[in-house]
Chains A and B, each alone.
Chain A
Amino acid sequence: MAEANEKYVLRLADNALILGQQLGEWCGHGPVLEQDIALTNVALDLIGQSRMLYQYAAELCGDGSTEDDLAMKRDVFDFYNVLLVEQPNGDWGNTIVRQFFYDTYNYFLYDFLCNSTDNRIAEIARKSIKEIAYHAQFSAEWVIRLGDGTEESHQRVQASVNDLWNYTGEMFTPDQLDKDMYELGIAPDLQEIGKAWRKKIDEILDIASLKKPDNEFFHTGGKVGEHGETLGFILAELQFMQRAYPEMKW
């Protein structure tokens, strides 16, 4: 049995939390009641997953930190989420495209993690994989409907695909930590995940009559704490209470 590096667990947790936090903003503001409820379910799943991961990360820290300490008391440079999940919600279609890119990656990732040599990660992954499979189906179905819907929806969603595309490559670009985790059988070979991801993305974009951008430049840095400007604002809301009223129980 292997034990993951705490930073690696935080990457998984931060991705789930930041995305869940952003989806939470849609609650009460969705395009129709049914879809409001649906997207909130995804948010709940993601935040739930982040909690399990933070609890594990807190144990690995071993300094008495709690899930909330990890979520609410680290600043931007100590957050290790990929840049994709911190991109702004934009319109509902944009949120769906971001979700589609991420959910598809997340599905292949967690599919591997179910058999991770780190038992705790494997256990969390097995709890989460059904939810994630549903997310991936849900966002793909909506990408198809918006891509192959009206002229307006097609154009808007194509624009979102183009805008978000450059943030997808980071998910499949391994750094030293990813490689170490792979060596230990804790995490997958990200390049393999990338191949599976591209195949699925090609298939769905094709059904949706959307074009895959040919730009192959990809932003990186999120995984090691080098973020854009939006994450700070996301954290400002997320951490407001813990910052304004430190050391209190809620």
Chain B
Amino acid sequence: MSKEEIMNLEERFNRYVAEENKVEPKDWMPEKYRKTLIRQISQHAHSEVVGMLPEANWITRAPSLRRKVALLAKVQDEAGHGLYLYSAAETLGADRQQLIEDLLSGKAKYSSIFNYPTPTWADMGAIGWLVDGAAIANQVMLCRTSYGPYARAMVRICKEESFHQRQGYEIMMALAAGTPTQKKMAQDALNRWWWPSLMMFGPTDDNSPNSAQSMKWRIKRKSNDELRQEFIDKTVPQAEFIGLTIPDPDLKWNDESGHYDFGEINWDEFYNVIKGNGKCNKQRLDARNKAHDEGKWIREAANAYAEKQAKRREQSSSVA
């Protein structure tokens, strides 16, 4: 194809997605669109899989059997979500094993929120309520993303996620209504998770260079700042309802804008954790590497067995 033809195709493609049409795997798409999607979808998948770890940490110690099964089911869902997303990336020609190797080597990124530790049970509440809450805001938007398989994975994920946030909020509610020790535990977790949750939406719009193109391609449909504001507006009343205090002295309702004003986010911390300086960056990657390395003989054995079986079937059919 000549350069001109490609330009022509790109123009058509842009118009096509701007008119809210979906792109499917075999359709022509600009190489940059494909790459952007693979990067974004795989990062999202990595986040789900690494995101299992801080919560899996509490499965054996959940305070009741009811909480234990809920948490197990939730962390299991995250594995499922990682899987759906890797599958979506594979429709673009990516190879899951390669994507995972990029994660394990530290080359690929995942949401830095999961580099924060979960020292207490209340962290299970805070993660479900805040981290999943923030993730859902983003994911609801992505249900209408322009790439079909990604959008469909998101619809599935959003359906399943709906219990996650409720699970977390219910934990917080129980703690906030409990003994002073429990309430203190809940407030402490809120204090630690509030700001990192706000950072999950990414840098402010004027510092987010890739956003404009993603919006044009309808991959992303709302800006980081818009989503962040929506999340804050929704979450503040939920905190008030259970009597917990958002750790932001500048937080106040603004009648004029119809939104909450909030304080300055510490972006130095954000970039620092991305760089690898979070409390748990190393533990998280070590755990993923360990699981992958120690699982190798299992994966190999299953393939070897499948090959043997295929040969046996061949032999027995040639005998017959």
The segment from A40-48, A112-120, A195-203, A210-218 found at the interface with B is A40-48
Chain A residue at minimum C-beta to C-beta distance from B97: A32
Assess whether A68 is interfacial by the CB under 8 Å rule.
yes
| Complex contacts, B317 vs chain A, CB 8 Å | none
Pairwise interchain contact A40-B75, C-beta atoms closer than 8 A:
yes
Q: Which of A40, A50, A146, A250 is close to B64, meaning CB atoms less than 8 Å apart? A: A250
| Interfacial chain B residues near A35, Cβ < 8 Å | 295, 298
List the B side residues contacting A54 at CB < 8 Å: 65
Task: Let me know if A124 is at the binding interface, CB within 8 A.
Answer: no
Q: Is B300 an interface residue (CB 8 A)?
A: yes
Whole-angstrom CA separation of A72 from B298 in the bound complex? 34
Neighbour of A153 across the interface among B73, B181, B298, CB < 8 A? B298
How near does chain B come to A138, taking the closest CB pair, in angstroms? 13
Closest to A96 in B: B298
Q: Assess A21 versus B298: contact at CB under 8 Å? Given A54-B65, A148-B305, A250-B174.
A: no
Bound CA–CA A145/B42 (angstroms): 30
**Count the B residues whose beta carbon is within 8 Å of the partner chain — how many?**
49
Q: Closest chain B residue to A149 by CB distance?
A: B301
Chain A residues, Cβ within 8 Å of B75: 27-28, 40
A225 contacts chain B at the CB level, 8 A cutoff: no
Chain A residues near B300 (CB, 8 Å)? 149-150, 152-153
A47 near B291 with CB under 8 A, answer no
Contact B65 A50 (CB under 8 A): yes
Tally of chain A residues near chain B (CB < 8 A): 49
- With beta carbons under 8 angstroms apart, the residue of A27, A51, A92, A148 that contacts B65 is A51
Point out the residue from A40, A150, A241 that lies within 8 Å of B76, measured CB to CB. A40
Any A CB within 8 A of the CB of B83: yes
Whether A248 touches B179, Cβ cut-off 8 Å, given contacts A28-B287, A148-B308, A153-B301, is yes
Q: Nearest B residue to A245 by beta-carbon distance? A: B181
User: Assuming the A-B contacts A21-B60, A28-B287, are A37 and B301 also in contact, with contact meaning beta carbons closer than 8 angstroms in the complex?
Assistant: no
| B295 interface neighbour in A21, A30, A238, Cβ under 8 Å | A30
Closest to A92 in B: B298
* Cβ–Cβ contact B301 & A40, under 8 A: no
Name B's A-contacting residues (CB within 8 A).
Answer: 49, 52-53, 55-56, 59-69, 72-73, 75-76, 79-80, 82-83, 86, 121, 171, 174-175, 178-179, 181-182, 287, 290-292, 294-302, 304-305, 308
Given A37-B80, A44-B73, 20 extra CB contacts under 8 A = A24-B60, A28-B52, A28-B53, A30-B291, A31-B291, A31-B292, A31-B295, A32-B298, A35-B298, A44-B76, A48-B69, A51-B65, A54-B65, A91-B294, A150-B304, A152-B300, A153-B298, A153-B304, A248-B182, A250-B67
A-B contact pairs, 28 of them (CB 8 A): A27-B76, A27-B79, A28-B55, A28-B75, A29-B287, A29-B290, A30-B295, A31-B294, A31-B298, A33-B82, A33-B86, A35-B295, A35-B298, A44-B76, A67-B65, A91-B294, A92-B295, A93-B297, A149-B301, A149-B302, A150-B304, A240-B61, A241-B61, A248-B179, A249-B174, A250-B64, A250-B67, A250-B178
